[in-house]
Structure formats: C-alpha cells, structure tokens
A and B are shown apart, each in its own frame.
Chain A
Amino acid sequence: MKELTQLKKVVSHPYAYIRKYKKQTGKKVVGYCCSYAPEEIIWAAGALPVRLFGTNENIHLADTHLQSYCCSLVRGILEEALDKRLDFVDGIIFPHTCDSFQRLSDIWRLNIPEQFHLDVVLPVKLDTPSAKKYMAAILEKCRKDLGKALGKDITQAMLARSVKTYNKIRSLAGKLYELRCANPQIISGTDFHAVIKAAMIMDRDQYLKILTQIVKQLQKAKPRKTRDEAKRLVLSGSVCTHPDIYGIIEDAGGVVVWDDLCTGYRYFEGQMNEKIAPLKAITARYLKRVICPAKHMELRGRGENLIRLVKQSKAQGVVFLLLKFCDPHAFDYPYLKEMLEAEKIPFMLLDMEAELPPVGQLQTRFETFIQIL
C-alpha cells in the first residue's frame, strides 16, 4: 500500500518531514508533549502541531537540569531541545499535567528563549462545575495567546474548520481500531503503530486524505488465515513509542487489539459537537475524555474504561506499559490491578524507559504471559 509506505517514511524520519514541510509551506510549527495540548487551536491558527517523543540516545545535556527520578520521556525531550535538534519548532505549548512536565516547562522557558512558550494551566479536577467554567476560560486565553504568538487572529471560522478536520481524523482512526480489532491480520502491529503516530506529526489535511485511503483499502482487505490462535491483548499506560513491542508480542503468539494509551486510542477518542461554538466543543471534549492519571474525574473511571475496552475488544489479557518514574501512572496501577483481578482478567506489567529491556528478556516475559493465558 503506497499510502502506508508514505506514513512509515514520515514516522521514521519525522524531523526531515517537518523541515521540508516548513520550507514548502512557510507554516509555523508548534511542539507539544501531551494529549491535553489543544492542538485543534494550533491547527486552526494555521500552524502545524507536532508531538515530541524525545530520544533514548546519549542523554547528557538534560541530566544537568533534571533529577534522576524524572521519566525518560521528559529527559529525552529536553535532550533534543538542548541539543538544538528541535530548531524547527517555533513555539512550545505545555498543558498542566504531571510535575515532571511542569518542571520541563520551566526549564524550557529559561533555556530555550528562541521559541515562544505557552503554559496552559488546565484544571486538575475535571468533573466540578467550576472546572468547566475554568477550562473554557483557559482555552479562550490559549486561543488569544497563541494568536498573539503566531501573529494571527484565530477566528470562529478557523476553529470550526479545524474541529471538522479533527472530528474526521478521529472518527476514521476509531474505524481503523475497529477494523484491526475485528481482523488483526489485516495490518501488522508495527504498521498500525506508524499510522497512529503519523497523526501527531503530519499536516492534518494531508493525513486525513491518506488515512481515508488506508481505511477504505483495509475495509476491502480479506484477512489472511493466520494467527487465528493469537492471544488478544490490550495495551494500557501512558505512551508507547516502541513499534518493536507490537512485533515482539506478535512473535510471542499474541496480538494487540486495543489500547488506552495517550499516544493511542485516548488521543483519538471523543467527537466534538459541530453545532455549537467551536471553542465550547473543544472544551467539552477535553472535559469528557477518559482522563490521564495526572487529572481527576471519577475515582475508578480509568479502571472501568480499561475493563470496558477489554470486554469490547474480546481481549484475553492486558499489558501495562509504564514508564519508570511516572508517578501518576504508578499510583493508579494498584487499583487498576485490583479491578482486573476482580474481573479475572490476566495482566502483566512492563516497567520501561525510553530504551526497552533487552529483547531476549522481553521475549521471555511476553511468551510466558501468552503461554499461560
């Protein structure tokens, strides 16, 4: 599939793509690190929102600023910035989530003055009436600040167009998840991961076109008769930037059929109401979406969502991918574990950093987990 090849090229060399894109279009690039960054507003302003995933190579510059108990994601992103590898970024936007990202925001503001810097101080509790008002106000402020930084007035019409584009992308991505869940053979895990990741990097209009083609072709694809006995798994956690994990799971006799990752389904879920004021619709989605553990909604919301995903996708087990030193996720793990145990859903925990544990060990763990399912 030539569309897939195109996306894989973008994902394997994202910075080359972005540099070329900037040159060709003259558009500004706004970096972000978290799925609470209101990228609908960035895209509405005519800038390209690009998610930063960091690096696992030779972290040394970041270590002079960060303590050793910061997660590898934060260190990796800072390393790239300090090493001037992100010089194509015109500005950066930090929504308020976990402590490490708050500190990263401060370090960024003080050390990378050539980029504009925006904090979006979101509420922590999302289910109170005051939070709703506050969220709306803070996103309105974000619209104004971002407009000022980019030298543009971000109008209702611009926002409405962006909302439409995002709604289409998200609903197609949801379809892609459903197709793969029903027939995991139609697209390999590694390719699937590339399609998902490209959504956070590419020109969104261009991506929408390609995604439409991919979904159309996959709808026609006949599943090959293999891996019928593959054990169906759900990935749970924060970010997964390791396409290798999908392959290792498939080699071990499993297949990933769904996820609740920040760089996965959680990024896509939730449609915005196109009949109301666009900023209101954007606000409503961020308030309703299944939360990141750095936020608060209902006490057991994440657990209930995970169990629902497992049941809907007919999965046989859950693999937790937790970044080392990620407190919010680590604090949620015990209660998620208890809820899964109560439902008799088997699970395994993979504590990881930007760098994966040695492949041999990973294989042993996945194979054993899959063999005992």
Chain B
Amino acid sequence: MLTAGIDIGSITAKAAIVEDGKILGTKVIFTGYNAEAAGKSVYEDVLRENALYKSAIKKIVSTGYGRNSVKFADKTFTEIMCHAAGAYHLDKKVRSIIDIGGQDSKAIILDGDGKVKNFVMNDKCAAGTGRFLEVMARALEVDLDEFGAISLKSKKPSKISSLCTVFAESEVISLIAKGEKRQDIIAGIHESIAARVASMSARLGLSEPVMITGGVARNSGVVKALEKKLSMKIEVSPYAQVNGAIGAAFLAASL
C-alpha cells in the first residue's frame, strides 16, 4: 500500500511516500508565506518525481506547524509523534530522539514498541534551533551547509555565553572583530546549541541509543558537540530533515 506524509515546518515543507515499509521518495521545498500552497506543491512534486498519480496514494497524514492547513490529509499527528514513528521505523532499537528543527528543538523518549513515553520542547526562544544557526551563518558570511565541516577543523572553540539569539549574534560579531578564527567561532556556536539542547534533554533523562533528526541533524558539528555534552553516541538519521514526513507516511499506513 502506498501512503504519503507531509510535514509543513516553519522553514521547509517536506513530503515522503512509502510503500509497505519502504521509502520510495522524498522532497523538500521552502514553506514560504502560504503553508497551504506549500503543502500542495511539495505533495505534487514528490508524486511527479516518483511518477505516481494521486489516486495511487491510499492515505495521507500531515504534521508540523502547518499540519492543519493540509486540507487533503486524512489525519494529522504532531511532529513529535511523526519523528518518533520515523526514527523507530529506521531503527527499532532507538529509545531517544533529539529533533532540532527550524524554530524549535525537542527531545522524545520512546518505549520498546516505538510509542512516545515523554517529550520536552524548548519554548519561545530561537536559541538551540535551526534559526539560530541561520542568523549566525549570515553574520559570518558562510553557507550554512559548510558549517559542520568548517567547525570540525577547530582546535579551540570560542565561548558564546549568551543564550539569546540576538545577543549571541552581537557576541559573534565582536568575536569576528577580535579576529577569532571562523572555525572556532562556528564550533563555539555549535557548542552553545548543544549546551542548550543537552540541558533540556537532561530534564527528561535520555536513554541510549539516541537518534538525531530534523534539519540541524545534517550539521556534523552540532552532532559532535552534542555527543560531547551528553557523553553519548548519537546516531544521525539518514533522513534527518524528512524524518517527520517519513514518520507521517508510516503512521498513514496504520490508519
């Protein structure tokens, strides 16, 4: 059976098609101003790229902040449920998930059957999210995709002490003015995110194995900094950014 998952996030909209437990295809586009239109077009894109007609898809689940604007979905689940389902389908042993998305970060604990046992979310603050990285990338004039690789060269990460994105940005600007190396500043930024996410997760009590999902999971620097802070090995979801959409498609199959 073919099912689809659509995840409308704050920055990007994702779609995934799965068939009998196998991932057929995924697609990512920018959400932009209109979440409803983004949901439609990412769905149409993923169908076209996989040469599928709408009629082939039996069930659709939508998730993410824009989940309710996907009018053609059969059901909605929160992104927490979908990230849990996505991670569990990729690796049945996973017990904890850290999801760092565009506007929030979450830690999720699973039981042995892949059910969500508990979760935490950061609230109303961009620190520890993808948006924080975007702001810093702009200040440093570095492409965000290169952040991970650059930071791994750092021997001495800079100290970013401010938790507020706006203040941290001015801290970064003064570090640039002081002539600190770009790689050190970036590594410092990653440590700051890691500290934020780790302290949030610690309240919950993570158990291994831990998987990281969400767009920021693609940044190897953040993953490394988090592993250090948590003293745990972290498995990176191969579908980091589309993990929620994949989870939604899997949940659709069990409707």
Give A residues with C-beta under 8 Å from B: 351, 357-358, 360-361, 363-365, 367-368, 371-372
Nearest-CB residue, chain B, relative to A347: B118
Determine if A364 and B121 form an interchain contact, defined as CB atoms under 8 angstroms apart: yes
The smallest C-beta distance from A292 to any residue of chain B, in angstroms, reads: 25
Query: Closest Cβ of chain B: how far from A352's Cβ, in Å?
Result: 9
Given contacts A360-B65, A361-B104, contact A368 B124 (CB under 8 A): no
In the complex, the answer to whether A368 meets B78 with C-beta atoms within 8 Å is yes
Given contacts A351-B123, A361-B121, 18 further A-B contacts (CB under 8 A): A358-B124, A360-B65, A361-B104, A361-B124, A363-B78, A364-B65, A364-B78, A364-B79, A368-B78, A368-B80, A368-B81, A368-B116, A371-B77, A371-B116, A372-B81, A372-B115, A372-B116, A372-B117
Query: In the complex, what's the smallest C-beta–C-beta distance from A323 to chain B, in angstroms?
Result: 13
Q: Please report the C-alpha to C-alpha distance between residue A62 and residue B201 in the assembled complex, in whole angstroms.
A: 34
Interchain nearest-CB distance for A223 vs B (Å)? 26
Partner of B80 from the list A351, A358, A360, A364 (CB cut-off 8 Å) is A364
B1 CB to closest chain A CB (Å) equals 23
Q: Which residues of B contact A351 (CB under 8 A)?
A: 123
Cα–Cα, bound, A358→B124 (Å)? 7
| Cβ-defined contact, A365 with B124, below 8 A | no
Chain A residues with CB below 8 A from B80, complex form: 364, 368
Contacts of B101-134 to chain A: CB distance below 8 A: 104, 115-117, 119, 121, 123-124
Q: Which residues of B contact A372 (CB under 8 A)?
A: 81, 115-117
A363 to B81, CA, bound (A): 13
For B81, the chain A residues whose CB sits under 8 A away are 368, 371-372
Nearest residue, chain B, Cβ from A370: B78
Pull 13 A–B residue pairs with CB atoms less than 8 Å apart, ordered by A.
A351-B123, A357-B124, A358-B124, A361-B121, A361-B124, A364-B78, A364-B80, A365-B121, A368-B81, A368-B116, A368-B119, A371-B81, A372-B116
Residues of A within 8 Å of B123, CB to CB, are 351, 357, 361
Least Cβ–Cβ distance between A69 and chain B, in angstroms: 15
Separation of A351 and B79 alpha carbons in the complex (Å): 20
Closest Cβ neighbor of B64 among chain A residues: A364
Alpha-carbon separation in the docked complex, A360 to B117 (Å): 21
For residue B124, which residue of chain A has the nearest CB? A357
- 7 smallest CB-CB distances across A and B, nearest first, come from A368-B80, A368-B78, A372-B116, A367-B78, A364-B78, A357-B123, A360-B65
In the bound complex, residues from chain A placing their C-beta under 8 Å from that of B124 are: 357-358, 361
**B206 CB to nearest chain A CB (Å):** 17
A273 to chain B, nearest CB (A): 45
Smallest beta-carbon distance B39→chain A, Å:
15
